[in-house]
Structures are given as C-alpha cells and as structure tokens.
Amino acid sequence: TKVQKRYFGNIWLAKSGFGGTEYLLPALVSEGTRRGLSYNQIARLTSYNAARRYGLNSKGDIAEGLDADLALVDPRETWTIRAGDSESTQGYTPFEGIELSARVKATYLRGKLVYDGAKVLGKPHGRYLHRPTG
C-alpha cells in the first residue's frame, strides 16, 4: 500500500513503529515448532513469563480464578501475510509476503470472544491492570 501524499513533509502525521504484533503467535507456532519449540515453551514465552515479569498475576496461565485470556490457533492453516488484511492502520508491513503455517482462529479476553478469526468484535473493553511497583 502506498503512503498517502498528505503524510509527506509532516513528521507529526507519521505512525510510530510498524504493525506486526498480530503475527507474533502465528510466526512462533509456524517457525518455532519447526525448530523444536513445544507449545508449552511458546505459551511460556508469550504469556506466562511476561505476566510474571510485570506482576499480572491473573494472567499468563490457564487455571481456575485466572482471567481466561486465550488464543486458539490452527497449527496447520497456511496463509500469507498481507498488509491489506491486517487490523493495523499502518498500511504496510515489513513481513509482507511471508507464508506462515499457523493462524489464530479466535481470541478470548477474560472469557469473552473478542476476535473471531476474521475481525475484532465490538468496542474495546480493556481495563487498568494494577501491578506492583518497585
């Protein structure tokens, strides 16, 4: 996707960084498992370790009383990254054209379906997560 001319010459209209977070889990399942990572290791890398590091004790694991933040992944669905298919408003991705062999089919936040494999559902309903400091 080409950058619109109205963005040229005004750095304040530039979007920071680039879209790509949505590709992390499918890429880890695609390439990580091919290189010997287990699903448990991927879960630790993407969820458990981060939740513990930042003191988010209600997240990062599947257990009674936790938030039930889950992503369901089809480890055998092959697809190609295209910026035009992304939820990002960036309009481009450095990963354009890369083929992955796993795809997120659904995402649940606190037990509620928020992504159905095709689109984000409803309005954002995030909340502040208090965490210890110091």
pLDDT digits (tens, 9 = 90+) for 37-68: 999 999 999 999 999 999 999 999 999 999 99
Check pLDDT > 90 for residue 132. Answer: no
Say which amino acid occupies 126.
Answer: G
Could you tell me the domains of the chain?
A: 17-115 (2.30.40)
Whether the pLDDT of residue 11 is over 60: the answer is yes
Structure tokens at 41: 């290791």
pTM value is 0.78
Q: How far apart are CA 76 and CA 26, in angstroms?
A: 10
Residue 2: is its pLDDT beyond 60?
Answer: no
- First-to-final CA distance of the chain: 44
In contact, 70 and 108? CB cutoff 8 Å:
yes
Under the banding of pLDDT at 50, 70 and 90, the label for residue 79 is very high
